Structures are given as structure tokens and as C-alpha cells.
Structure 1
């Protein structure tokens, strides 16, 4: 699948470059590079190929399309070497990494302090694991509602829907968000991830930051809202949403586009904001890193709580979880080669798949961490 971004991608990448300089899809098969022939602000890297021939990675389904690109570019740069990626969800990705089943874990949220970081350190021979954000993309609040060409929701309304407080599409809070225009009286059918998912964790973190008085369910990879019909993986959510009228759910932008789902505008207090390349790029300006050293954990709370005009606040960053030390020599060499390709050469190919290519400044931070893996 090739998702067209047209000229808007240029604005997104420029905004992303400013943001990250300041801060210091199971079926996606991307083709080509930046849209309209525009060169993405990404660099290239000299790759030291070799080591383990067949790397194994597992985790986030949100980054499946990006991992397909990374794998293709890795094989092109390092003949005879490859990486196999299983999009089993972020929860499984962390578990398989800590169990030494995979060489790299993929997760839509960083390792949590406590058991996850402890288990990862044990897996890495007593050394800390690092969270390296390689993929950025927006999360859509997608819906299917006959007769509704456009729906605007406030953070409070979204939190009310996903906690079961708002049950019908003509609820007064939804009507108010849409300028007094009442939508259908049809019941709302909430669709959520059934599996543990970093997308769920990010979505619930967003609700806690943007609608703290309404969302009191906390965060985490398991959906805590107490309502809804569960679906497996991002593709399962998108398929379920497209199958029945009156549904609403959260899913990565590329999956929503693939299924041609309608996506709600979000009004955080400065007017309704449609999910576009420009509005997603504007939101990235709020992203900051809070990890220490080469553990590049992002602090997304300010982004989620942002009320800035023209900014779409519901963004997701996908991490590759790796050992800082503790791999055998062959695995370390191959992991470093793959990540070097993914962080540089392959980034210019991500735009057509619904992701945000990394600017040069952030690539440099990633390369510093990748080179330090031992």
C-alpha cells in the first residue's frame, strides 16, 4: 500500500526538524521516497555490515510499515543479511525481547520503570536496555457514522466516550463540540485494542493529560475504560471500525487511511483541528526528551495537553528496545548495522507510509546511541 501525502509532507518534515532540534500497520508496504520528489531532511550513514545473518524483531503493529522499509533497506545495504519482524503488539514485543526470543523489541511506549526495566537488564547481562525512538506517527480517533461528513470532538468528549459516560452520538457534549448540530441518536459502539498495546498506552496517556477531570482510568498497555469491543492489533481495530455504523476507536493514521475511515477533528480549546501532515508536524514542536544519556525516552505530556491552534496533539512514537551491552559480538554488530540503516538511509522512504521521517538533528542523537551499543 502506498499512501499519498502530496506536498503537505514537506511542511510536516520541516516542522519536525524544528521540533526535534529544540528538544535537543500490518499491511503497509511503502514504495518510493518523499512525495512529489521532495527530498526528506535525512542523512545517510556508512554501515559496518556483518555479524548475525538473521536478526529477529517483534512488537508494535503500529510500526510494521516502517519496519518493512527498514528491512528492505537493510538488505540492500548489507547483502545476505536480513531482519524478520513480527507485529504481535507492544506488550508481546517487550516480553519477547526480555525472554531473549527477539534481538530487538518494538514498543509504542518506553520500558516502564520496575519489572520491565529490571527484566530487560537481566536479559542484557546486567546492563540497561535503551529505548530508541525511530518512528513517529499520528493516532486517529476514527469513526463510522452514516450521514456525518465531519465530526469534531473535544478531549473531554473523547474521554467521556471511551469511559462509557457518553453513550450516543447525539449527546449534548458532542452536539456542543459540533457547533450545536446534533448528530445521529444512534448508540456509540466503542472499538478498542484487545491485546496489550503501546498505542493504547499512548491513547490513555493522552486522555489523562488532555481531559484529567473526565479520564480517571490511568494509562498502560491494557485498555482501562471498561467499555467497548476488543479487536486484535491495529488492523483488527480498523477492520472492525469499517464493518459497522456507529463505531469509534483509536488507530494509527496509516490504518485509518488504508480503510478510508472518517477521522474526528479534535478541538482542544483553540478550534477544531483536522489530522493532516501540517497539524501533526505542528504538534511535534512540543516533544522533548527526558531519558538520560543514550536512553532517548520522550516526554509527551506537554504535547498531549497542548491547546495550541492548528496542532493535532495525539501523536505516537515507536521505540526500538535494545541492549546497551550484553549481546554476543555477532548480534551486536548486526543490530548496530540494522539500526544505522533504519535511522538514516531508510528514513526518506517513510513519508508514503504515514510516518514522519526523522530530521538530521535527531538522527545524530540516534547514531550516537547506536554506535555506543557494545
Structure 2
């Protein structure tokens, strides 16, 4: 039964849940050609269900985690609704789901709301679970690679550069045959952590070329808009002269932009993206077990890809019952395990969390408890 207040599952998650529920731990839970995700020998299983909602950026990773966990724990059911980070945080704060996936950490106001949602006024915490680059994808006949500095990217998405043969684009791509074709930027229609991280990058790196604040909603009237990472990917692929931004596992075989960093152009990859996270400190002012990061989107370090998102698993430190606490604790521990991180990386191209980081985060998850 769908938990009260839980919305319709996304297609990918629903297919996964139905397959996993009916398969009772068999390989039928997997996508065609997918290897069974490994699970730790000491994995903690629970009976019943745990529900979550949020980031579409981690949708593919979550499908993999659900498959791995439920294959190891046949009596457990994990429900995930890929509705976008903003909606996921709202559902969590309204107690409609047990935890949320969000590409942006809870802000100060949301932390206050969370103390009313969590048991005994306990805090909610941001636990980094998924680190992945945001790729800038495009569809332009005859062109399979582009170099774009941050100022040029900002002017394209701000609709100041409107045609592909603009001199500013041509300057950095002398060997490309750029057509006199109108550029169609595709942005998110929903409140999105991917948008918040992408606009955060433009704010930090593009200077006056991006005259907008960082935020989860697109700041200007869009040329074309789509729901979720999958929606942008489909819109860019179906168009001509289109360009958009997606979590890297949604790029399929589409062309991607190499981004200007310092005096070079850097390709999107897990290795180049992980360098930003490794050097990013935790946000000041948080509680002991809150691990929100201050990402340096404006870095000029060589070989570093700066457009990165970290998806957080947002959970209470105390729940009303031990049953709730146990289920959240067990599943998030699997997400943060070496096996869970490697499974997501193999499926999506994400950067697995370093071992010392995983140890620290799992120690925080182990402290999730109940009032009873």
C-alpha cells in the first residue's frame, strides 16, 4: 500500500519497486544487462517499507540502491518518488515521507521547520550520498564537442547569445562548423537542486555575465522548459540547436561541453568533478551530524570540473518510533557503504565517496534513533 501522503512514483522507480516486490530478491529486479549490485555481508535488513522523495538527479542511483538493498533484504520495501529536490524537501518537512533526497542542503528556515517535524524537536541532517557532475549537453548537427568559458555559457542561458555562429562561441571553437541556427536553451520547469547548483556555478564563475541570484527555480522566462533531468535530456535530444544541463547519468550519448577553468577547458568526468568536493569544507554553524558542504563552484584549479552537485539524504536524528528510525538508518547505511557507492558509480558514473568520508557519515547515520 502507498503510504499516506505519498505521491505517484516516477516511472523508473515504480518499475523498480514493482519488479523488486514481485521478484522477492531475484535477478528480475534488475534492468536488462545490469549486474546484481553487491551488498555488505553485515547489511542490516528490516521488515516493512521506508519512503522517500526528491532529487531526480539521483534517480538512477536510487534505482540501483533500491535494487541492491531489496535483493539482499527480500522483506524490505523502499519507495522513492523522483519529484525534484524542492518537492522532496517539502514532503519530508510535511512528514509525508521518511527522508528526502535533495541536491541542495536544508537552509536555515527549513532547519527550523524540520525541528517541528522531527521527534522531540531534534534536528534534521544533510548526509552527502551522491556526488556527480552536472553536464551541459547540446544537439547541434555536425558538432560533437564544444569549448565554452563560463561567461559564454552564462550569456547563452541568459539569452544574450542567441545563435550558434556567434563570434564569442566561434572564438573558442575555431575548428567547428557552427551554423546560423537559433540557440534553444532548455531549463528546468520544477524547483530543482540541479538548477540551484548550475546557477550557483554561473554566479560564482561568470561574473556580470550572469546577473541573477543562485536558486532552485529558473530566474528568467524560459525559451523551453522541462520537468526533471530526464525531461531536459529528452527535450535536448529531440530538438535542434538545443542546449541544457543535466546530472551526468542523463547524458546518454549526447555531446557535452568542455567548461573553461582558468586557462584551460575541462571535460566532464567523475574524477575531474570529485576534486571540487575533496577540497570543499563543511558548512559552518551546523549540528554535530550535519554534513552540508560549501562547494567551490568558482574554482580555477587545473583539471577540476566545477559544475558539480552533491545530493544529500535529509533525515531526522530522532523519529517517533524505533521502527521508523531503524528503516531509515539501515537503508542509508547501505547507501553509504563501499558496495552501495561502487554500485551507483558503475551505473551512473558518479564519484564514490572516499573511505574516510564514508566512515564519518556512517557514524552519523548510526546515531539516528527514536524517542521510544
TM-score past 0.5 threshold: yes
Cα shift at 1:273 = 1.3
1:312 aligns with 2:315: no
**Does the Cα contact within 8 Å between 1:59 and 1:86 map onto a contact in 2?**
yes
Query: What is the aligned counterpart of 1:336 among 329, 336, 360?
Result: 329
Cα shift at 1:171 = 1.7
Matching residue of 1:49:
45
Matching residue of 1:357:
352
Unaligned runs of 5+ in 2: 1-9, 14-30
Separation (CA, whole Å) in 1 of partners of 2:358 and 2:154: 35
After TM superposition, the score normalised by the length of structure 1 is: 0.84
Within 5 Å, give how 1:157-236 maps onto structure 2.
Answer: 157-179=152-174, 183-236=178-231
Query: What is the aligned counterpart of 1:71 among 66, 69, 74?
Result: 66
Separation (CA, whole Å) in 1 of partners of 2:341 and 2:269: 19
Separation (CA, whole Å) in 2 of partners of 1:276 and 1:363: 21
**Does the Cα contact within 8 Å between 1:32 and 1:349 map onto a contact in 2?**
no
Separation (CA, whole Å) in 1 of partners of 2:43 and 2:145: 47
3-state SS in 2 of match to 1:117: helix
- For these two proteins, the number of residue pairs brought into alignment is 337
Within 5 Å, give how 1:1-374 maps onto structure 2.
Answer: 27=12, 31-32=34-35, 44=40, 46-50=42-46, 53-114=48-109, 116-125=110-119, 126-179=121-174, 183-257=178-252, 260-290=253-283, 291-300=286-295, 302=296, 304-344=297-337, 345-354=339-348, 355-374=350-369
Higher relative contact order (CA 8 A, sep 6+): 1
Q: Alpha-carbon deviations, 1:182-214, whole Å to 9, x = none?
A: 622211101011011110011011111111221
Q: What is the CA RMSD across the aligned residues, in angstroms?
A: 2.3
Separation (CA, whole Å) in 1 of partners of 2:293 and 2:34: 29
